[in-house]
Chain A
Amino acid sequence: NAGVTQTPKFQVLKTGQSMTLQCAQDMNHNSMYWYRQDPGMGLRLIYYSASEGTTDKGEVPNGYNVSRLNKREFSLRLESAAPSQTSVYFCASRRPDSTEAFFGQGTRLTVV
């Protein structure tokens, strides 16, 4: 089982550029999440999708958009990247009846 797969693993963007972070899970999970992790700040929720066709804002949604393309895929888009969006981004998924969230390996994004 691949679990949760994120692409790319590393990315450098210039300020103002756009990009989409891809996330796919093969565990048939309903819920998917995007977190960012910054030094000293822990994991902060950006957006989540409780089920296919629904998305909700988390703690730090500004500057991001998401798409739940189907049950497997949940993408995160930065329309106009800013240096403040330099971070490690983690995608996660979870079954409704499960307590455990499974994480992808992360995307290290640097905005210069």
Chain B
Amino acid sequence: RKEVEQDPGPFNVPEGATVAFNCTYSNSASQSFFWYRQDCRKEPKLLMSVYSSGNEDGRFTAQLNRASQYISLLIRDSKLSDSATYLCAVTRNSGNTPLVFGKGTRLSVIA
């Protein structure tokens, strides 16, 4: 079983829709969790970290469920500019251990 698994997508949604992505992780020692965004032919960039209590940044909400070992990303009021691939990543601590990424979920927001 891969350490981090994501819905592969693609998700094709109309503008204004709400879309949710899930990501499961297998290593219970994982301590830090993230969502990265990757535009076509570009490098990944941090979208948001995921905190135990959940966190929100504008239209984006991230949640962590340690008991079930998954993280989620909710995008409300989707914009065309949200079209990208969303990668979840986990690491065992915030020190030097590498980030382990999921395969990514592709989102296309359609006018």
Contacts and interface: CB of A to CB of B under 8 A. Distances in A.
Given A42-B101, A42-B102, A99-B34, A104 B43 contact: yes
Nearest to A47: B98
B87 A97 contact: no
B80 interface: no
A90 to B, nearest CB: 6
Contacts of B66: none
B59 interface: no
Contacts of A92: 99
A16 B89 CA distance: 34
Interface residues of B, number: 23
Interface stretch (B12-20, B44-52, B70-78): B44-52
Given A42-B87, A42-B101, A45-B100, A97 B94 contact: yes
Give the dominant DSSP class at A's interface. loop
- How many residues of A sit at the interface, in one of the four size bands? 20 to 34
Which one of B32, B42, B95, B99 has the greatest number of beta carbons of chain A within 10 Å? B99
Interface in A55-89: 58
A43 B98 contact: no
A51 B49 CA distance: 23
Interface in A88-112: 90, 92, 94, 96-101, 103-106
A105 B42 contact: yes
Contact of A99 (B32, B100, B101): B32
27 contacts: A31-B96, A31-B98, A35-B101, A40-B8, A42-B87, A42-B102, A42-B103, A43-B101, A45-B98, A48-B98, A51-B96, A58-B98, A90-B44, A92-B99, A94-B96, A96-B94, A96-B95, A96-B96, A97-B94, A97-B95, A98-B94, A99-B49, A101-B46, A103-B44, A105-B42, A105-B43, A106-B43
Q: Which 9 A-B pairs have the closest CB atoms?
A: A42-B103, A50-B96, A103-B43, A43-B101, A31-B96, A100-B46, A96-B95, A48-B98, A99-B94
